[in-house]
Amino acid sequence: MTNLITVITAVHPPAAKFLADAYKSLTEQQLPDGWDWQWVIQEDGETDGVTPHLPDDPRISFGQGRQGRAAVARTLGLSRAEGEYVKVLDADDMLTPGALARDLQALASDSSLGWATSRVLDLLPDGSTVGFDQDPPEGPIERGAVLQHWKAHNYRAQVHPATLFMRRDLLLALGGWMALPASEDTGLLMALSAVSRGHFSAETGLLYRKWPGQATNQAAHVHEGERQARFAVVEARARTLAAMEGWQYPAEQ
């Protein structure tokens, strides 16, 4: 019997052209014996603009639904997730070789870990890459540490939610991705960190493509009023979850 890692990708037509690169990065993953991946691709909408870009592979499950942005698409895709673990892969990003195996090793070897992340390199339009200067050390990340860093560094976490690898039951218990127009993955990251220890791999696990059409490059993403509202509810949810677990974040200094 094959054990599965479910890779979930939300996509809309402008990003569909990048699915071939994402797929190539998946086919280059080497997993332990008895393991394979399932790729759940969920279109945010019901158009004819994505299907021409879908690779022909029986491990791919494609679905469509009413447009509601990435959080809705990914959470709808969860209905078809068969794996014990769930990995996020945005349509315009690429995994590096060994990324899935490293994530799997981290969680399979330590039952106290609920999620894993890895180092990211931004992939610029000219093909060059840029790293992040606040990566944590390789190893476990204690509960609450992500929110503390996020608050102390102008709402920028020390690990990237686009690299999340999670236990599926924990993801479901938290309700999937937050119902927000943006920062839905940051909200999930904070919730995961509120209830479970995580793990960081210092080896690069993702190439994060920078291009004009990406959601985080749109003016609405940085609208200050909406940004404040998103971050307020992200923080409130994380703190509430931590309190329900009988553990609270240290008082802010």
pLDDT at 246: 65
Q: Whole-angstrom distance between the N-terminal and C-terminal Cα of the chain?
A: 52
**Region 209-218: what's the mean pLDDT?**
70
pLDDT digits (tens, 9 = 90+) for 184-213: 999 999 999 999 999 999 999 999 999 786
User: What average pLDDT score do residues 104-110 get?
Assistant: 97
Q: Residue 253 above 50 pLDDT?
A: no
Nearest to 84 by CA among 107, 118, 51: 107
Please spell the DSSP secondary structure of 126-168, one letter per residue.
Answer: TS-EE--TTPPPSEEE-TTHHHHHHHHTTS--SS-GGG-EEEH
- Supply 91's token pair: 């349509």
The pTM (predicted TM-score) of the whole model is 0.92
pLDDT at 217 over 60: no
Query: Mean of the per-residue pLDDT values for the chain?
Result: 93
Residues 145-157 have a mean pLDDT of: 93
pLDDT at 133: 82
CB 6 within 8 A of CB 63: no
Q: Backbone phi, then psi, for 219, in 5-degree steps?
A: -60, -35
